[in-house]
Amino acid sequence: MITQDDLISFVYREARLLDEQRFDDWIDLFAPDGRYWMPLEYGQTDRRLTASLMDDDLFLLRLRVERLKGNRTYSQKPKSRCHHVLQQPQVDVFDSGSNRYIVWTSIHYVESRQDHQDLYAAWTTHDLTEIDGALRIRLKRVDLVNCDAAFGSIQLFL
Amino acid sequence: MTTRYRNDPAALRALVRDAEVHRDTYTDPEIFALEMQRLFANTWVYVGHDSQVAKPGDYFGTTIGTQPVLMVRHDDDTIHVLYNRCPHKGTRITTDICGNTGRFFRCPYHGWSFRTDGSIAVLPLPTGYQNETFATSQATQGLSPVRHVQNYRGFVFAKMAAGGPDFEEFFGESLSSIDNMVDRSPAGKLEVAGGVLRYMHNCNWKMLVDNQTDTCHPMVAHMSSAGTAIELWKRAGEQTPRPMAVEIYAPFMASYEFFEKMGIRTWENGHGHTGVHHSIHSNYTAVPGYFEQMVAAYGEPRAKAILDENRHNTIYFPNLMVKGPIQLLRLFKPLAADRTLVESWTFRLVGAPDFLLERTLVYNRLINAPTSVVGHDDLEMYERAQEGLHADANPWVSLHRLFEPGEPARAVDNGTTERQMRNQFRAWARYMAPGE
């Protein structure tokens, strides 16, 4: 039986897996048809005919994770590190009847490499579902506060 | 800033040898300042697409080199390019990237108002300006226009200086790449669509231009991204249909032979393109209904001829790249010697299935976004080069690959030649050190 605390703990744990660079464990949090979406526009609703910064299915997420490990991944020599600060996640939808849970979280995210460090502010929305007794991500939406700004490389995951 | 080069054309010419260029072309702030004055002012630089200003009063703010400008549609339907600066105190007139200003621009500082051709409409308290000195000042121009503007099949270019070649002379046959992109619409019309990806690069703008026709880097630099994509697909059992991501990434890992046979064509004035015979865009999945629409619009022979042309990257010197087969345009905006804003724009083929725009947007996201693994591969190389060039032991950048003494500007050559890079720098030297 999923509780509100389970949902909140899930979001905290997801951020910790990313901070600890346990990317394989992180990908396991996604449902088989799960997606990671980072819109390009403020309040964007369309993913198909409007560009996004990221719109990854599991294939593309695995590609990123495998690439991060690669011996010829020169943009990760040396490797980047990341750091998430989360406000307490807020449960917006708790619908065990339709097995749908939506959690909204305000975050600060730091990505660093060598002498360089970038700070991003964002709101994340986790669309979660229970599969075989465990919560899984159907859609993780990451809305950067400055989504329409010009960025340098963002190599890890908010 | 030093002034070694400003008054020394011989020193400027000496930066570009037959098949190598001096690192100062990429690193020196004085060279960058001279590029803005001599190269970007005297060439036809891409401003925007006319679909971005579809109705009178629509405007789009951008830069030519480092100059802030507005592209605007006037009430007689002509497109004007104006410097984005109030003649009074210098205030930028608009800061939104685009919008509709109605019949007038109004400066938010003191209310000076201008028609959409830039001329002054209203000055508040006009009696204060009834003096001869004002009447003969530049302020009476209103929003100063960029005098030379050309709309070529929707693509708006401008030349800031009075000198230099006219539009047709400057671009010549290279316009065939824009033609092919537009012709791919059954209606013969493109629209900017989907949103622009903006990626900040801490490197010189020419590194990006060089890279567009550099066919010896994908199999090395993109092994990490494209190579991994292929590997993952194989591991998954190569199920059909192949994911669009694999269709897009896989050609990056094609062999040297593939790129050799792809071919490179060069034209006068620094323009040229990869993908003369085929390209990484040649084998995309057919889109249901599209070919039939093309046949209906053009007849079968012409439709086939348009779609069989699969040019890879066309460089419009100095800082524009166009990809006809995937309806994508990249503009390399110079900000400083070591800083460049890369804008990647996408187009809808009017009258064609939505799926074509969808694929174009996937391509743009997978290759050109600041979150793109291919983008990460490339930017890492540019930034390493920007740093590495500070090594004093060897100040020269090599462009020797398949060099032939006395090579003419116009040619079709082996696709792995660095001839197009040499072509760009020869044009560069002519603008930077005129009077040769």
Q: What is the CATH number of the domain that holds B96?
A: 2.102.10.10
Q: Are residues B190 and B333 in the same domain?
A: yes
Judged against a pLDDT cut of 90, whether residue B96 lies above it is answered with no
Instruction: Give Cα B83 to chain centroid, integer Å.
Output: 20
Q: Which 19-38 residues of chain A touch chain B by CB within 8 A?
A: 38
Judged against a pLDDT cut of 90, whether residue B274 lies above it is answered with yes
Supply the CATH number for residue B355's domain.
3.90.380.10
CA distance A39 to chain B (A): 11
What is the reported pLDDT for B186?
A: 98
Q: Are residues B85 and B196 in the same domain?
A: no
Residues of A whose CB is below 8 A from B236: 59
Residues of A whose CB is below 8 A from B371: 38, 53-54, 151, 153-154
Q: Are residues B115 and B194 in the same domain?
A: no
| Residue of B195, B201, B373 with shortest CB distance to A63 | B373
Percent of chain B with pLDDT over 70: 99
**What average pLDDT does range A34-59 have in this prediction?**
97
Supply the CATH number for residue A111's domain.
3.10.450.50
Q: Are residues B119 and B195 in the same domain?
A: no
Instruction: Give Cα A94 to chain centroid, integer Å.
Output: 20
Number of domains in chain B: 2
| Residue of B232, B377, B379 with shortest CB distance to A59 | B232
Q: How many CA atoms lie within 13 A of B3 on its CB side?
A: 2
Interface touch A49/B236, C-beta < 8 Å: no
- Asked if the structure places residue B53 within a domain, the reply is yes
Residues of A whose CB is below 8 A from B198: 148-151
What is the pTM (predicted TM-score) of this model?
0.97
A155 vs B: CB within 8 A: yes
- Asked if the structure places residue A86 within a domain, the reply is yes
What is the reported pLDDT for B240?
A: 64
CA nearest to A51 within chain B: B194
Complex ipTM > 0.90: yes
Mean pLDDT, chain B, as a whole number? 96
CA distance A25 to chain B (A): 18
Cis ω for the linkage preceding B241 (within 30 of 0): yes
Judged against a pLDDT cut of 60, whether residue B436 lies above it is answered with no
Is residue B327 within 8 Å of residue B344, measured between CB atoms?
no
Q: How many CA atoms lie within 13 A of B322 on its CB side?
A: 21
What is the reported pLDDT for B252?
A: 93
Instruction: Give Cα B255 to chain centroid, integer Å.
Output: 27
- Asked if the structure places residue A136 within a domain, the reply is yes
Bridge partners of residue B84, in order along the sequence: none
Q: Are residues B131 and B189 in the same domain?
A: no
**What average pLDDT does range B345-362 have in this prediction?**
98
| Residue of A51, A54, A62 with shortest CB distance to B232 | A62
CA distance A96 to chain B (A): 33
CA nearest to A77 within chain B: B380
Q: Are residues B133 and B217 in the same domain?
A: no
Is residue A34 within 8 Å of residue A141, measured between CB atoms?
no
How many contacts (CB atoms, under 8 Å) link A and B? 102
What is the reported pLDDT for B415?
A: 97
Q: Which 43-102 residues of chain A touch chain B by CB within 8 A?
A: 48-55, 59-60, 62-64, 66-67, 70, 72-75
- Asked if the structure places residue B36 within a domain, the reply is no
| Residue of B357, B369, B384 with shortest CB distance to A49 | B357
Per residue in B166-203, pLDDT tens?
999 999 999 999 999 999 999 999 999 999 999 999 99
What is the reported pLDDT for B302?
A: 98
Q: Are residues B68 and B201 in the same domain?
A: no
- Asked if the structure places residue B159 within a domain, the reply is no
Interface touch A60/B224, C-beta < 8 Å: no
Task: Count the neighbouring beta carbons within 10 Å of the beta carbon of residue B90.
Answer: 8
What is the reported pLDDT for B236?
A: 85
| Cβ-defined contacts of B380-383 (< 8 Å, 24+) | B380/A74, B380/A75, B380/A153, B381/A74, B381/B217, B381/B221, B382/B201, B382/B202, B382/B203, B382/B204, B382/B207, B382/B208, B382/B211, B383/B201, B383/B202, B383/B203
- Asked if the structure places residue B289 within a domain, the reply is yes
Interface touch B373/A70, C-beta < 8 Å: no
A152 vs B: CB within 8 A: yes
| Residue of B197, B224, B228 with shortest CB distance to A51 | B197
- Asked if the structure places residue A155 within a domain, the reply is no
Burial of B150 (0-12, 13-18, 19+ CB in 10 A): middle
* Residue that finishes a domain, picked among B117, B152, B187: B152
CA nearest to B382 within chain A: A75
Residues of B whose CB is below 8 A from A49: 193-194, 354, 357-358, 361
- Asked if the structure places residue B408 within a domain, the reply is yes
Give the domain extent around B231: 172-432
Q: Are residues B263 and B219 in the same domain?
A: yes
| Those residues with Cβ within 8 angstroms of residue B14's Cβ, 6 or more apart along the chain or in another chain | B22
Burial of A5 (0-12, 13-18, 19+ CB in 10 A): exposed
User: What three-state secondary structure class fits A37?
Assistant: strand
| Residue of A51, A53, A66 with shortest CB distance to B228 | A66
**Candidate from A4-13, A34-43, B33-42, B279-288 with smallest mean pLDDT:** B279-288
Give the domain extent around A114: 4-70+80-144
Q: Are residues B178 and B144 in the same domain?
A: no
Judged against a pLDDT cut of 90, whether residue B423 lies above it is answered with yes
Per residue in B31-82, pLDDT tens?
999 999 999 999 999 999 999 999 999 999 999 999 999 999 999 999 999 9
User: What three-state secondary structure class fits B89?
Assistant: coil
Q: Are residues B199 and B290 in the same domain?
A: yes
Q: Are residues B252 and B379 in the same domain?
A: yes
* Residue that finishes a domain, picked among B152, B182, B213: B152
- Asked if the structure places residue A95 within a domain, the reply is yes
- Asked if the structure places residue A133 within a domain, the reply is yes
- Asked if the structure places residue A151 within a domain, the reply is no
Residues of B whose CB is below 8 A from A52: 365
| Residue of B195, B229, B384 with shortest CB distance to A40 | B195
- Asked if the structure places residue B312 within a domain, the reply is yes
Two tokens, residue B73: 């549609």
A6 vs B: CB within 8 A: no
What is the reported pLDDT for B16?
A: 98
- Asked if the structure places residue A54 within a domain, the reply is yes
- Asked if the structure places residue A156 within a domain, the reply is no
* Residue that finishes a domain, picked among B97, B119, B152: B152
Q: Are residues B109 and B237 in the same domain?
A: no
Residues of A whose CB is below 8 A from B377: 74-75
Interface touch A53/B371, C-beta < 8 Å: yes
What is the reported pLDDT for B434?
A: 81
Number of domains in chain A: 1
- Asked if the structure places residue B332 within a domain, the reply is yes
User: If pLDDT is split at 50, 70 and 90, which confidence band does B238 have?
Assistant: low
- Asked if the structure places residue B164 within a domain, the reply is no
